[in-house]
Amino acid sequence: MIEKDGRSRVVIEHVQPQINSGRFPVKRTVGERLTVIADVFADGHDEVRAALLVKHEQDSDWQEIPMEFQGNDRWEASFTPEKRGVYEYTVQGWVDHLLTWQKGLKKKFEAIQDVGVELLIGANWIEEAAERAPAHDAQTLRNWATQLRNESNQSAGVTFALSQEVTKLVEAYPDKKYASLYHRTLFMEAERQKALFSTWYEFFPRSASNEPGKHGTFKDCEQVLPRIAEMGFDTIYLPPIHPIGDSNRKGANNSVTAQPGEPGSPWAIGSKDGGHKSIHPQLGSIDDFVSLVNKAKDFNIEVAIDVAFQCSPDHPYVKEHPQWFRWRPDGSVQYAENPPKKYQDVLPINFETEDWENLWKELKSVFEYWIDKGVYIFRVDNPHTKSFIFWEWCIREIRRQHPDAIFLAEAFTRPRVMEQLAKIGFNQSYTYYTWRNTQFEIKQYMTELTKTDMREYYRPNFWPNTPDILPEMLQNGGESAHISRVVMAATLSSNYGLYGPVYEFGINTPVYAGKEEYLDSEKYEVKHWDWNRKTKIRDVMTRINRIRRENPALQTTWNIEFGETDNQQLLCYAKVDDYKSNKILVVVNLDPHHVQSGWIKVPVQYLNLSTGSTYTVNDLMTDTRYQWHHEWNYVELHPGVMPVHVFRIE
């Protein structure tokens, strides 16, 4: 059985981007260009043309975008999504007989051969194009065909046949009756711009009170909003805001036994006061929370909440749906473990329960409940310990009804697992940036994120610290490390965040040497912060956030180019916007203890600078200007003064 017309001669291969052979959509935001490449060729010596076909899921008609020949049978075209939603795209290719004729005509004429018959053949091709054209162009094409047939001067005929006017009009009506179509339709999801560019500040609402020893409330959080807005953050992320269980409650520094009055970990969700759709009573009411969400909007800030699908032994789910948990032979319920660690205050959910359909519906309803309260950004705790197939279904269903929803995967685990979470729907992802410290490590990691197919689906969000993670660099590097790490996070990645108060105050004491956890962690205590206190780190955070807002080159992750250095303790990289008008060059001293100096090679070609030119670099961190010459230039960075340059090339 012949499945398609045997006269379709064009082969279409290696269409990129596509994820898992088209199983998952690639990711873009509205206004962010998608470039598609493909190998398109045919047998013999006939000329081939190709087009990218694109349509939004709500549209019925395909948009055709001509592909440009790049050499060696490779073709390329780009399109920019103008609205949110899923776009379909594929590639079409066909033999272009007119172009083939034109090239043959030119060669024969230049070889001083008789081309009388060739002109007649061309007249036939032009006449066929007229049959595909609307009336106003069809008549023009017929007139041209007649002109070629009647032309007695071959030189004039060739000149006319090869003219731009003829070529352009005939190309508008190609002969596609034997066109080939790529065997697969691919997908791209266009999301709102915040999925690509966002700035997160994490703090615990219970520590928002101005009064020492007093449990904070959502009303207290409202008082903190102007300060966070002043620093330039557009997203505040709140750890779980739900009732905390009493059973097996953890005490200070993760002690197995809590002392009277100790608040417990917010991630031990659920008590007699409710579960994942309830508010911790000491934080206020649901109306207070909605008020906070609305007040934040006045400062152009969105509230993101933590969704942790795990339960305290006191969670209502445990009594109402015991089948959703694992029970041990002694009749006790299985708590969370990561041997040798034990989390006696947390029960994992059993996604292999026979009642999985009701479980899925209930968990999805948690997101729907908070969306109804005005929350559209969710930091999902440990999603890699839950079912992949559940997340794919849940995120797809939520985003179908609420395309503004953004899901950040808080997963520090194996690379393939983190990549799978991004493929199945998470809009942003935590990364290994926290542990990438050397020049080699950072370059290698950024290359992996931006120059491989991870760029098409894995949207990184760089965090220099979290309540769970106090990396060794911050422990030992002090203020200088806090400054360099936040500036790198904010300029390497267009999405970044930090666990705020301890970061800006430079708190860096671990539980013990070699342990990447904060001593007296806020996870287990109510803290009191001096919200009016100013620090150099806070000033740097404020400055770099302003720089990000004012420079489009820093509003995407994918446009990075590294420069060479003669000192491994110096890191140099450049970023430019799509129009090559905004040019940023960052130089970082990776050594938090010593002055480092050396020569850096500016990537002048990437920055669209001539090799021998003189140009001004303005350090936006210090508002200092320098005149630089050629590619190689000298820098010296003092960790006690400012360990980074963020230059704008003017």
pLDDT band at 643 (very low <50, low <70, confident <90, very high): very high
Rounded to 10 degrees, what is the CA torsion of 201, 205, 206, 210? Answer: 80
| Contact status, residue 395 vs residue 420, Cβ threshold 8 Å | no
Regarding predicted confidence, which is higher, 635 or 612?
A: 635
Q: 385-425, pLDDT tens digit by residue?
A: 999 999 999 999 999 999 999 999 999 999 999 999 999 99
Report the 10 Å Cβ neighbour count for 543: 19
Q: pLDDT at position 30, please?
A: 98
Sign of CA dihedral 153, 158, 160, 166: positive
Q: Six-digit token pair at 441?
A: 């490590």
Structure tokens that stand for 358 in this block: 């009701």
pLDDT band at 64; cut points 50, 70, 90 = very high
Parallel, antiparallel or unpaired: strands 644-649 and 614-619: antiparallel
- Determine what percent of the chain is predicted with pLDDT higher than 90: 95
Dihedral-angle region of residue 247 (phi above 0 means left; psi in -120 to 50 means alpha; beta otherwise): beta
Q: What is the reported pLDDT for 340? A: 79
State the catalytic residue, choosing from 345, 410, 522, 631.
410
pLDDT at 3: 54
Which residues 6+ apart lie within 8 Å of 168 measured at CB? none
Q: What whole-number distance in Å separates Cα of residue 242 and Cα of residue 217? A: 12
In this predicted structure, the answer to whether residue 1 has a pLDDT above a threshold of 50 is no
Out of 96, 151, 345, 381, pick the active-site residue.
381
**Number of C-beta neighbours around residue 330 at 10 A:** 5
User: Tokens representing 491?
Assistant: 């300029």
- 382: number of Cβ within 10 Å: 17
410 is catalytic: yes
What secondary structure letter does DSSP report for 332?
Answer: P
Q: pLDDT averaged over the chain?
A: 96
| The pair of three-digit structure tokens given for residue 632, joined into one six-digit string | 């190689």
186-191 vs 406-410, strand pairing mode: unpaired
469-480: pLDDT as tens digits: 999 999 999 999
Q: How large a percentage of the chain has pLDDT more than 70?
A: 99
Digit-coded pLDDT (tens) for 163-178: 999 999 988 999 999 9
Task: Tell me the two tokens of residue 416.
Answer: 């393939």
- pLDDT, one tens digit per residue, over 14-38 is 999 999 999 999 999 999 999 999 9
Q: Quick: pLDDT tens for 304-341.
A: 999 999 999 999 999 999 999 999 999 999 998 878 77
DSSP for 54-110?
A: EEETT-SSPEEEEPEEEETTEEEEEE---SSEEEEEEEEEEE-HHHHHHHHHHHHHH
Confidence of residue 2 (pLDDT cuts 50, 70, 90): very low
Is position 381 annotated as part of the catalytic site? yes
Q: Where are the beta strands (DSSP E) in 451-551?
A: 495-499
Instruction: Give the closest residue to 488 by CA, choosing from 588, 559, 621.
Output: 588
Query: Rounded to two decimals, what is the model's pTM?
Result: 0.95
pLDDT digits (tens, 9 = 90+) for 206-258: 999 999 999 999 999 999 999 999 999 999 999 999 999 999 999 999 999 99
Tokens linked to 433: 């940036």
DSSP count for the chain of H helices, then E strands: 15, 30
Q: In what order do the strands lie in the sheet with 34-42?
A: 10-16, 34-42, 74-79, 68-71
Q: Name the residue with higher pLDDT: 285 or 6.
A: 285
Mean predicted confidence (pLDDT) in 603-626: 94
- Reported confidence tier of residue 4, pLDDT bands at 50, 70, 90: low
Handedness of CA 242, 248, 251, 255 (dihedral sign): negative
Which residues are CB-contacts of 264 (< 8 A; sequence separation ≥ 6)? 244, 245, 246, 249, 250, 258, 345, 524
